[in-house]
Amino acid sequence: MDKLMADLKEQIIEQLNLQDVKPEDIGDDQALFGDGLGLDSIDALELIVLLQQKYKVKLSNAEDGPKIFRSVRTIAEFIESNKIPNA
């Protein structure tokens, strides 16, 4: 879980082009949207693509976004519980 969260932080920084932000700047439970890291609805859509491309997890209902993307931990938990098992 910790490794996944560390990896996620790097991926998020890269996908969203968060210049000047380092993985250690993002807390595991820090709010990503609103006042936290300041992400917005476009970032949420980018994260949906990130999940699909890098973690093979699909989010088909955009409305689930806010609770899944609340923090790095909630994203990691979502990935863990929805991973497509290796064939």
Partner 1 sequence: MDQPVLIAGVGVISAIGNTVAQNLLSLEQEKTGIAPIQYLDTEHRDEFPVGEVKLSNDELAELSGFKPCISRTAMLSLIAAKEALTDTGITNLLGLRTGFISANTVGGMDKTEDFFRDFLADNTKGRLRNVVNHECGAVTNLVADQLGIRHHVSTISTACSSSANAIMYGARLIKNNMLDVVIAGGTDALTRFTLNGFNTLMILDKQPCQPFDANRRGLNLGEGAGYVVLVSKRFASSLKKELCCTLSGYHNANDAYHQTASSPEGTGSLLAMKGALQKAGLQSSDIDYINLHGTGTQNNDSSEGAAISRLFTGHYPKMSSTKAFTGHTLGASGGIEAVFSALAVQRGLVYPNLRFETPMEGLPFTPETRFSKQPEIKHVLSNSFGFGGNCSSLIFSKP
Partner 2 sequence: MYIRAASNISPQNTFGNQPFLSELIEYNGDRLTCIEPDYKTLIDPKLTRRMSRIIKMGVAAGMDCLHQAGINAPDAIITGTAYGCLEDTNTFLSKMVQQNEEALAPTAFIQSTHNTISAQIALLLQCHRYNNTFVNGGASFENGLLDAMMLLYEGEASNVLIGGIDEITINSHAILKRMGLYRRKPVSNFELFNTPGKGTMAGEGSAFFLLSREASGNDWAKIDGVSSFYKPRNVAEIQQHIRTFLLTQNTDINEIGLLLTGSNGDLKNVAVYEQLLQYDFDNVPVINYKALCGEYPTSSAFAMWLAAHEIKNGVCSFVSSRNQIPLKKVLIYNHYQNIHHSLILLSAC
Residues at the interface with partner 2 (CB under 8 A): 15-20, 38, 42, 45-46, 49, 52-53
Within 8 A by CB and 6+ apart from 42, the residues are none
Size of the site for partner 1 (CB under 8 A): 7
**Closest approach of partner 1 to the CB of residue 50, in Å:** 12
The Cα 63–Cα 30 span in angstroms is 21
**Closest approach of partner 1 to the CB of residue 23, in Å:** 26
In the shown chain, the binding pattern of residues 32 to 51 toward partner 1, with x for contact by CB under 8 A and - for none, equals: --------xxx--x--xx--
Considering Cα of 16, then 9, then 60, then 68, what sign does the dihedral take?
negative
Classified as helix, coil or strand, 43 is: helix
